[in-house]
């Protein structure tokens, strides 16, 4: 399932290289802006880059003349197909890391916007795929939105649980990037 997906997206390898470079450049700035640990900012930026790469890069079917496609039907097959590696499980898995890193970063005045943004991202991705059929993507599919939102919810829950465990084990909240280094030596 993964090999055909890579063949269908010829920009996967160059795009991954760009994601790594952009992440290395932007993660320190993102850590300061979000007032969080650099490794959390790295995870957020890299995960967001991966989502953009996988969902919005042109496929081999890309080109002019593609028609818009929208499927607003919601079927329970989305959840029935979660028993193996297929398009539905990959859609779920794609959004788990981003949501988990966002949840682990916690909430402050700036980060308060990141959780709603992550929740709205699957709808935005599908709307962009619908608006630009030349990307060669499937257009707007409600099943993809549900699978992606499932990934977001799993990631938010997993990230919140990881944050809870880390803060309990260390006896303190995950320190912010602006806090002194000695307060965060164990994290």
Higher pLDDT, 141 or 174: 141
Reported as a single tens digit per residue, the pLDDT across 14-24 is 888 999 999 99
Residues 6+ apart with CB under 8 A from 124: none
Q: Give how far the C-alpha of residue 187 lies from the chain's centroid of Cα atoms, to the nearest Å.
A: 24
CB atoms within 10 A of CB 186: 10
pLDDT at 78: 58
Q: Is the pLDDT of residue 179 over 50?
A: no
Which of 143, 119, 148 lies closest to 56, judged by CA? 148
Lowest mean pLDDT among 40-54, 109-123, 164-178: 164-178
Helix 142-170 / helix 114-131 crossing angle, nearest 10 deg: 160
pLDDT at 23: 95
pLDDT at 40: 93
Locate 16 and state its tokens. 């991954």
Q: Give how far the C-alpha of residue 5 lies from the chain's centroid of Cα atoms, to the nearest Å.
A: 18
Rounded to the nearest 5°, which phi and psi values hold at 141?
Answer: -125, 120
Q: What is the C-alpha separation between 56 and 116, in angstroms, rounded?
A: 20
Higher pLDDT, 27 or 70: 27
pLDDT at 130: 86
Q: What average pLDDT score do residues 89-115 get? A: 86
pLDDT at 132: 83
Q: Is the pLDDT of residue 69 over 60?
A: no
Reported as a single tens digit per residue, the pLDDT across 125-144 is 988 888 887 777 777 888 88
Rounded to the nearest 5°, which phi and psi values hold at 177?
Answer: -65, -25
Higher pLDDT, 6 or 88: 88
Q: What is the overall mean pLDDT for the chain? A: 79
Higher pLDDT, 183 or 50: 50
CB atoms within 10 A of CB 80: 9
Locate 158 and state its tokens. 């997993």
pLDDT at 41: 93
pLDDT at 30: 93
């Amino acid at each position: 399932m993964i090999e055909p997906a890579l063949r269908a997206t010829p920009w996967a390898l160059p795009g991954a290289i760009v994601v790594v470079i952009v992440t290395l450049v932007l993660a320190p700035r993102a850590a300061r802006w979000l007032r969080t640990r650099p490794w959390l900012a790295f995870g957020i930026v890299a995960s967001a880059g991966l989502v953009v790469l996988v969902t919005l890069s042109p496929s081999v079917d890309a080109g002019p003349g593609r028609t818009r496609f929208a499927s607003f039907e919601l079927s329970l097959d989305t959840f029935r197909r979660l028993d193996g590696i297929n398009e539905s499980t990959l859609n779920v898995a794609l959004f788990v890391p981003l949501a988990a890193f966002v949840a682990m970063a916690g909430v402050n005045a700036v980060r308060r916007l990141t959780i709603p943004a992550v929740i709205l991202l699957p709808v935005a991705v599908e709307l962009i795929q619908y608006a630009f059929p030349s990307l060669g993507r499937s257009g707007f599919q409600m099943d993809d939105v549900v699978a992606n939102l499932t990934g977001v919810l799993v990631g938010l829950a997993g990230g919140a649980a990881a944050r809870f465990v880390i803060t309990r084990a260390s006896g303190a909240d995950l320190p912010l990037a602006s806090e002194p280094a000695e307060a965060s030596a164990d994290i």
